[in-house]
Amino acid sequence: MTVSEFEPWNDPEAKPLIHFQNVTKRFGDFTAIDDLTIDIYEKEFYALLGPSGCGKTTLMRMLAGFETPTEGTIQLAGQDIVGVPPNKRATNMMFQSYALFPHLSIWENIAFGLRREGMAKDKINDRVEEMLRLTRMEKFARRKPHQVSGGQRQRVALARSLAKAPKLLLLDEPLGALDKKLRQDTQFELMDIQEKTGTTFVIVTHDQEEAMTVASRVAVMDHGQIKQVATPAHIYEAPNSVYVADFIGEVNIIDGTASPNGEDTYAVKWCDNHAPLNAASPLPFSEGQKCHLAIRPEKVSISADKPEGAANMVQGKVHDIAYLGNISTYYVELPTGAIIKAQTANTRRIARRSFTWEDTVWLSWTATAGVLLAE
Amino acid sequence: MNRMSRFNAVSLTLGFAFLYIPMIILIIYSFNESRLVTVWGGFSTKWYGELFQNEAFLNAAWVTIKVAVMSSTIATVLGTMAAYVLVRGGRFMGRTLFSGMIYAPLVMPEVITGLSLLLLFIGIGLDRGVMTIVLAHTTFSMCYVSVVVSSRLVTFDKSLEEAALDLGCSPAESFRLVTLPIIAPAVISGWLLAFTLSLDDLVIASFTSGPSATTLPIRIFSAVRLGVTPEINALSTIMISIVTVGVITASLVTKRQMARQKAEERAAERG
Ligand SMILES: Nc1ncnc2c1ncn2[C@@H]1O[C@H](COP(=O)(O)OP(=O)(O)OP(=O)(O)O)[C@@H](O)[C@H]1O
Ligand SMILES: [Mg+2]
């Protein structure tokens, strides 16, 4: 993949396309965006992730020009755009509520922006047909928005925002109402479009798998603040806080206190009757500092016999098993009452599974499997 | 549907009888042969014929229609603009005061509205005629239009206008291409309302009309003071039928359109 080489955020020379500088947005005395500073580079696929009400749509609306920041500045290609009206911005937004024009047909909805641009008739025709094909809505072109299904409306909204091929595309949950197959296809279409046209995408999604698939970087938000911005792999493997670790994917969190026992390695004391756990961390922890060990379930091995020479091992009882087809998640209860999740691929038929409920099992993981977090 | 109880049936009959018996009697007597209004002299349509010979009535009818069309059109434009600003204008100085003030003419006694307009016209030296009636009717029917239109605008999904802006419309274009087509049914019913109000207004028109222009209600009223003639019955019957047909079509059309657009909009939001 060439994607790994695309890292303008690591290049001190690179100029961001979008620059938020200490942006705060208040509605009355409610702070929706809280002192936010971010850079988004050209040709990025920037995914915003966060719980409902954390300010994702508000951030988008400031980029599109529907809200002005209470404090701070927003720059697009080096120009301050606060105060530039939405119709004068080279951005298009796909609304979370779709906002399709109910009095126009689907064809006319998609053509709306092109007509405003004063594009020639036959060019508009071609472009609209292309968008209809892309979103597989050819058959419904003459219908009104209320005559198609929810997922189809979502595709029309997507087509309408894509039609003008803007420099910056803001997609507010563009694929939420689509079935998995169509969603994956559309994700790849989006990535394809982006490769061809070099459009910069900012996309809100509740589906972290989607964020992982399409994003060049993922920003995790909470209460109007950005908790972490990083590549999907980095955010998954090296979250910077329990909040991020917990938000992206599944994770086991073990609370304890750290004490250094080597270069970049720590012993984590987590329970009086058990040996401390071993964990490596590039971040420094002082003796006795409170810490949280975050381990992804798929990095925890489960076995019936005591594993040889593992850096960390604990014994527990199988409390529950979640069978997900390709993988199974075992919920193992430790003697302390804590539950640790361990995931294994189901390479065997279900009947041949080696453990079942109430079995005593060993869990083990390496010193580098987990991430040691301060908060 | 449930069958109606006897009590409800009786109430309904009484209510409708109360409302419509006078009109029915009027309609019946408009086909009376006899010149005496209260004596039935056999069926005839001769009064309709005579009505159409009556220059004064025809003139008044023409003035009334001109006034109604002009005043309701101006009132619709102004009322829609006012409604738009009051609903969408955001917070500006005196907004509450303005939206309160727009309702004031609705509750103001017509005599007072008429009198104050009369004083105004005399004050600025405007000759009373068609123009002054149009102005006066615009003044009071505009509030009705703005009430009807603003109740529609309140439920209008603002993100549609934002989407239009986002796709390159100026605010004016977004109003013309998106807002107006969607609120059109409300604007049309506002127009119809203003039209009917103007059509049957007697009080304000009698303050603001002059010797050069008299509206039909004024003409009828003054004719009746000299005694009811069967001609007036015929004229009233014609007016009743016009209004009935108008009101029924208008309500059917707007009802159907409103229902359809509501459904479209609800569906266009996530559905
Ligand atoms: N116009 C407004 N007036 C007052 N509060 C608002 C306004 N718009 C948004 N908010 C508040 O700001 C916060 C952030 O809203 P926003 O729409 O950005 O959330 P979101 O992250 O998009 O959520 P979701 O995932 O549910 O769409 C919410 O708590 C919301 O109630
Ligand atoms: Mg949102």
**ipTM of this complex prediction, to 2 decimal places:** 0.83
Q: Domain range spanning residue B79?
A: 55-219
Residues A295 and A226 in one domain: no
Position B201 in a domain: yes
Question: Which residue pairs, CB below 8 angstroms and at least 24 apart, start in B252-257?
Answer: B253/B185, B253/B188, B254/B185, B254/B186, B254/B188, B254/B189, B254/B192, B257/B184, B257/B185
Q: Domain range spanning residue A191?
A: 3-243
Position B258 in a domain: no
Confidence category of residue B269, pLDDT binned at 50, 70, 90: low
Confidence category of residue B271, pLDDT binned at 50, 70, 90: very low
Position B158 in a domain: yes
Q: What would the mean pLDDT of B229-252 be, rounded to a whole number?
A: 83
Residues of chain A with pLDDT under 70: 1-4, 350-353
Q: How many domains does one find in chain B? A: 1
CB A148 within 8 A of CB A129: no
Nearest CA to CA, how far is A97 from chain B (Å)?
5
| pLDDT at residue B166 greater than cutoff 90 | yes
| pLDDT at residue B268 greater than cutoff 60 | no
CB B232 within 8 A of CB B224: yes
Position B231 in a domain: no
Residues A27 and A110 in one domain: yes
Per-residue pLDDT of B130-155, as tens digits, reads 999 999 999 989 999 999 999 889 88
Q: Which of these three, A243, A261, A281, is where a domain ends?
A: A243
Nearest CA to CA, how far is A94 from chain B (Å)?
8
Higher pLDDT, B100 or B133: B133
Q: Which of A24, A29, A54 to mutate to test the pocket of ligand 1 (most atoms within 8 A of CB)?
A: A54
pLDDT of residue B265: 65
Q: How many domains does one find in chain A? A: 2
Residues A131 and A224 in one domain: yes
Phi, psi of B249 (to 5 degrees): -65, -45
Nearest ligand to the CA of A59 is 1
Burial class (CB in 10 A: 0-12, 13-18, 19+), B181: middle
Position A306 in a domain: no
Q: Which of these three, A243, A258, A280, is where a domain ends?
A: A243
Average pLDDT, chain B: 86
Among B88, B162, B166, pick the best mutation site for testing chain A contact (most A Cβ within 10 A): B166
Residue A144's domain is classified under what CATH number? 3.40.50.300
Per-residue pLDDT of A172-202, as tens digits, reads 999 888 888 888 888 988 888 888 888 999 9
CB contact under 8 A, A146 and B178: no
Nearest ligand to the CA of A28 is 1
Residues A149 and A95 in one domain: yes
Residues A109 and A181 in one domain: yes
Per-residue pLDDT of B111-137, as tens digits, reads 999 999 999 999 998 888 899 999 999
Residues A256 and A357 in one domain: yes
Nearest CA to CA, how far is B79 from chain A (Å)?
23
Residue B215's domain is classified under what CATH number? 1.10.3720.10
Q: Which residue of A has its CA nearest to B257?
A: A103
Position B123 in a domain: yes
| pLDDT at residue B49 greater than cutoff 50 | yes
Across the interface, of A102, A112, A150, the residue whose CB is closest to B167 is A112
CB B168 within 8 A of CB A87: yes
pLDDT of residue A1: 44
Q: Which of A225-229, B160-164, B187-191 has the lowest mean pLDDT?
A: B187-191
**β-strand pairing of A168-172 with A91-94:** parallel
Strands lying side by side in the sheet with A327-333: A301-303, A360-365, A312-323, A327-333, A339-345
